[in-house]
Structure 1
């Protein structure tokens, strides 16, 4: 027994000694609490730690320490746990609900709490939102151990005066994808050569989540379970300080805030946030990193203009969001211009900044609390000064799209009301700044180069027709979307059923019925049918399910129709006659049976994984339709004849002439190629289609004006379209536009693909309007010379098939409900498009 005890003490002490590189200053540690090395069996930094081991270690800390508890706030697409370790003093832990109640009084503008220095400050340490930026999750383990095991007076002071929420891995699916790669190629001895496989992940790499979404852009959009779970937790606790730890290129150093100036002309976050608070905390980070000899920079490159980052969203909730960027070892050790950068070195910088964050928060807790209180009070004050008292919106044609938008508003705790047929969002509410984020549009900016998008008015993402109003009739408050749609059950018919194609979920209903073996037709002209609910007018694309023509009996058909209506809440009607009250009859040649799409998509090196993931996610989660993902390396021998639709998203397609001919021949047989963004440019460049780009001849007579070299990045950067919203004129009679009523819709552009309208007068489906600007930055030259003369969507004939060319991305970040239909129509109706000669 003594021998075992001696060995345990020896192992623990040697473990601590090995990890003193990180936390030597915080001795003594409680020997009853296992260190990360003791638990994992290797020192932090020796290997990349799997997410399940991270969760297991934090669970162990919660079991062995009276300072900690663990909470699961969700699961990833792949089923991995999303957890937060809450660490504070044992006394605070016993009274955590009471402390939470006291804390939330500072968030409520109706309350006037003034015990600023008495309530422990809430700090959320968030790590590893990009899976292949792994150093921060290792630092999270060190931070969790320090806070639960250290008996150093400095740490005890932090615990007495703060509640620290450690979110060790915001993106577990991406992290484990990268962890597997880095550990799989780890050498012994380690290989520092940047060309080694360890430092060069294969597509799609570990940055993104399961569906290849960048979760650091998803705080505002809330598309993925990782983000939705975190947002739900966030609005329960409203932490005062939130960290967002990242990595950047190996040749760099370390970045902390203050950031580059916000590019908005009048940022909606208080100036106190990005000037005073950021500089206050910056002094702490500088001092901490100076103490370990690390170099760093601030006020460059990164900006918090887009409100959907982990380093910007909390700024709109009365907190202080802090970005950190560490030069990455991209593995365990890599050669740089300054020697070798190691994994432990990167971890230490992240750990040091974590401690400095807690220190700064504790020492300024009264200031932070008063700031958060003033934030929500000033929201009401700002709203009262505005002539806009609210926004109204509705769309009687598409209740499920409206429902999705209301769900987004409620996710961010925005108050929504239902008044008659319209919804009302008042500006006089604590979340006024989020209301601004959802509805306001801008055309003037203080900067012209953005780290991300320059437009994010989410109402436009949903093609929501909304109006600002100076008078309100609120109606009844909406607390849930579960009962927003009251679909009347369809009665049984022996003749036909009709589904209104205007509804967002109609495509999912179509796919479901086709997958169950029913033949479904679409109407290529409007009509008014005599239904059991009375005469009903149907738009282009209405789905017709003839009962007597199915291979299933009428009872089985009815059961499927009921299931569709219950599952997708789509407006569905029964008809007992094909003789319509107006327009074409149900047996018209304009009511054509649809072919079930058999779709494939090229993925792999050169393909933009974000856009590929958006397609995959849309079809998986909203339509329930499988799509075959063909790696580029397999294209040479892949049998394309198994599919009738092929999707190519943006990318640099380095295809051989033989591979190009393979695609061209396949389309020519009568199939459909759908291209997005730079894939459309590729199709035109390679002359698959006889379309052209919008070009303006350069004036060669003008003398070249000499400019300062240092300004080159800014001058050239503003020429790109980083992300803005424009209006297009849509041909609503075209099959790609079925389901739309309004010929004017918003689209999202974040590329420089300028396609000329087709010379075929029937082939341009969407063209930018005469006054296209809705929201975001674009240079005058790009607007006048490139955007306005261009088309957003055209169809080009190729043999017996067609190429559908999207200049813009209709599925951007899984959020463009307003243009998803264009893409889905390309899949489900594409082969019905005949292009007149």
Structure 2
């Protein structure tokens, strides 16, 4: 009788709770799934829950987007747990050191990282309501952290577009406008970056702000909710190969445990699903892999639909897929995830402790040296990840040399650092720094190489023994700006130097550059050196103060000189010491350009270089007078025959008059061949006598990847006498994203691949390697008084390949 009364009281309590709380449909005033909910309305509902169920929901704002929308997190648990939330967090983190006795499961659910994969935010509202009412028992030993919308700017862009163009009632015919987003889709954020590729690189403010909180919790389980093509059934864990080798047996097995529980519910409803296909666990910057490398069970869930589906759409087999269907599927896997985590809270805590025990990795330390600005840029990234590092000022270290790809030595006499795997983030260190990730399968979903020493342009060795760091050294600028000097000199090696130059130009300071090495007053300077003379700026009010302020801001070492008479090289009045003009830059958007690739350029100018940029959309580009601009950037994309004969003639004439085109990736195809430009695409020649027998259909994908490059790192040769390559050494490690290849230019080959070049890291098919042999990477072609700059590889890819960005700055400021 006592047990019966207790159960009755519990049921009455749950019933009263459910009556007190409004469901999403009751609060919003429409049935969930019959409309898309704007972001501010989603925030309103979560605020309502945090106010009405304050003992079980805590709402925090962890940041703001570029378009000023709030980024929120909801902490959901039992009243007892929520009252002790900070104690639970601290005890959980003690497990990393092996000193905690945590017993609660920590589950983080991330929704709507891709804005037009909009169902997940709707599902989040249904999920939190169910957790607070019918499934509150899951919360007794579980803290659920919910991010209802990782990408509010993209989501509202999609929702507002859909509400503009949908039929009333909505039209399920897939040909209707409401199922066809335009060029600027809601998938990406404000700067058109894919936030699901930014977890490790942290180029976007959404990622940077989110990771601060993520690192304060480091959950046991993290789910990233997505959508895929309309005709695809639901996907959930376990993931496909390749799995990165650091992923533990438990992390693999628990994915299966979760998948089987999801399948139980899907089977009962007759819903279709698949596992172990397509979505692998290798690339470290995803919402599933990054948490895995920090000790979590990281997973991607994919519902069919995306921006094409709208409120409902007819599928290829004649069924109608509705938004309500999509909500139910994500709702089911979300609850199932919390259920299984709650049932296995003890095991999750035990394995979390094991994960963070000292790992026996092959390489114990990564020793790096290089330009101070590049080291500082890497340090800044590591600090955002809570990765420890130390400084080195001297010593010789043996290990795997990143420069040669074999064993070697690295001598440091200044500007060195070391990063060890013997730290709480040791697994993440191994993944981000390893010279070459081990592939269990060459069929992957993303790039296969990303090693940070290559990305940041640093000399490095990976050592099998631990290397102790030295005490932190203070970085002191040795600027010597004397008001009576003839000129002020500074080097040109990094993006920090490019930002310094951009700031000077924006303030109206006139700057020259050296096209030849020189020595003056006993000091040596390389090509690209910035020369700021008193004579050029005598009409600039507060010239010295402006120069001093900008030099201090960018921590620049400035050398003052009392003369323009050099010891060797060219005097400062030589025609080889050219004035750097402040270029007026335009970039093409829309139509033929890739949304993501355009976004990388936009973000580079506004958030990295801090230099003005005019965006010209293809809809009205033919009405724009190009003579108003000095530089035209053509982003990667699919141009086809975008430029007609008259437009190509006008482009060529504009270049001859002194204009500059920066053609990137696929835009080069619009200029090659018989179009009056010198670039020529390479073709793969079949070897004589090559066997050409039919291949089994089942092998077609394996045959296809022989001609593919899935994000591999190649060592290229550099002509650093070319202004496009000022600030670089004789070699450059380039991230190659495809097998498109172009012949060497007649002259102006700044960066190129030599014969039989193989990848240093990552996968490249044998046919692709043959195609790119002896091909151009970056080059300059002169036309009259202007230039065309060809960028076959993308130096701005996802904003993380730090060492490539100076090429783009050179294209703007050094090439003339």
Cα deviations across residues 136-181 of structure 1 (Å, max 9, x unaligned)?
A: 0011111222223x1x3xx222111100000011111111111111
Cα deviations across residues 173-212 of structure 1 (Å, max 9, x unaligned)?
A: 1111111111112221111121222111111211111111
1:330 has 2:309 as partner: yes
2:548 paired residue number: 562
Of the three residues 279, 285, 293, the one matched with 2:270 is 293
2:459 paired residue number: 465
Q: How has the CA–CA distance of structure 1 residues 476 and 82 changed in structure 2, closer, same or farther, with 3 Å as cutoff? A: farther
2:675 paired residue number: 687
Of the three residues 135, 138, 142, the one matched with 1:158 is 138
Pairing of 1:86-105 with structure 2 (within 5 A): 86-105=75-94
For 1:503 and 1:312, how far apart are their aligned partners in 2?
Answer: 30
For 2:123 and 2:545, how far apart are their aligned partners in 1?
Answer: 55
1:608 has 2:608 as partner: no
1:798 paired residue number: 783
Cα deviations across residues 244-276 of structure 1 (Å, max 9, x unaligned)?
A: 110011111111111211165xx22213312x1
TM-score norm. by structure 2 comes to 0.91
For 1:271 and 1:492, how far apart are their aligned partners in 2?
Answer: 66
Instruction: Report how far residue 430 of structure 1 moved.
Output: 2.5
Structure 2, unaligned stretches of length 5 or more? 1-13, 394-413
2:127 paired residue number: 143
For 1:700 and 1:340, how far apart are their aligned partners in 2?
Answer: 53
1:586 paired residue number: 572
For 2:476 and 2:799, how far apart are their aligned partners in 1?
Answer: 23
2:499 paired residue number: 508
Structure 1, unaligned stretches of length 5 or more? 1-25, 833-837
1:717 paired residue number: 705
Cα deviations across residues 613-633 of structure 1 (Å, max 9, x unaligned)?
A: 111111111211121111112
Cα deviations across residues 108-127 of structure 1 (Å, max 9, x unaligned)?
A: 24x2x4x56xx221000110
1:409 paired residue number: 382
1:228 paired residue number: 208
Q: How has the CA–CA distance of structure 1 residues 670 and 352 changed in structure 2, closer, same or farther, with 3 Å as cutoff? A: same
Instruction: Report how far residue 419 of structure 1 moved.
Output: 2.4
Of the three residues 638, 656, 664, the one matched with 1:676 is 664
Q: How has the CA–CA distance of structure 1 residues 338 and 375 changed in structure 2, closer, same or farther, with 3 Å as cutoff? A: farther
Two-structure CA RMSD over aligned residues (Å): 2.0
Instruction: Report how far residue 484 of structure 1 moved.
Output: 4.5
2:366 paired residue number: 391
TM-score norm. by structure 1 comes to 0.89
1:168 has 2:148 as partner: yes
Of the three residues 249, 258, 273, the one matched with 1:271 is 249
1:21 paired residue number: none
1:445 has 2:439 as partner: yes
Instruction: Report how far residue 602 of structure 1 moved.
Output: 1.0
For 1:686 and 1:488, how far apart are their aligned partners in 2?
Answer: 52
Instruction: Report how far residue 686 of structure 1 moved.
Output: 5.3
1:80 has 2:69 as partner: yes
Of the three residues 373, 384, 392, the one matched with 1:419 is 392
- Give the 3-state SS of the residue equivalent to 2:95 in structure 1: coil
1:596 paired residue number: 582
Instruction: Report how far residue 701 of structure 1 moved.
Output: 4.2
Instruction: Report how far residue 584 of structure 1 moved.
Output: 2.5
Q: How has the CA–CA distance of structure 1 residues 780 and 718 changed in structure 2, closer, same or farther, with 3 Å as cutoff? A: closer
CA contact (8 A) 2:479 2:551 kept: no
CA contact (8 A) 1:792 1:806 kept: yes
For 1:814 and 1:168, how far apart are their aligned partners in 2?
Answer: 26
CA contact (8 A) 1:262 1:305 kept: yes
1:540 has 2:527 as partner: yes
Cα deviations across residues 353-375 of structure 1 (Å, max 9, x unaligned)?
A: 11011001111111211111111
Q: How has the CA–CA distance of structure 1 residues 257 and 490 changed in structure 2, closer, same or farther, with 3 Å as cutoff? A: same
For 1:603 and 1:825, how far apart are their aligned partners in 2?
Answer: 22
For 1:584 and 1:473, how far apart are their aligned partners in 2?
Answer: 44
Q: How has the CA–CA distance of structure 1 residues 86 and 620 changed in structure 2, closer, same or farther, with 3 Å as cutoff? A: same
CA contact (8 A) 2:46 2:74 kept: yes
For 1:489 and 1:36, how far apart are their aligned partners in 2?
Answer: 64
Instruction: Report how far residue 349 of structure 1 moved.
Output: 0.7
Q: How has the CA–CA distance of structure 1 residues 426 and 477 changed in structure 2, closer, same or farther, with 3 Å as cutoff? A: farther
Of the three residues 360, 373, 390, the one matched with 1:400 is 373
- Give the 3-state SS of the residue equivalent to 2:359 in structure 1: helix
1:18 paired residue number: none
For 1:642 and 1:189, how far apart are their aligned partners in 2?
Answer: 47
CA contact (8 A) 2:682 2:771 kept: yes
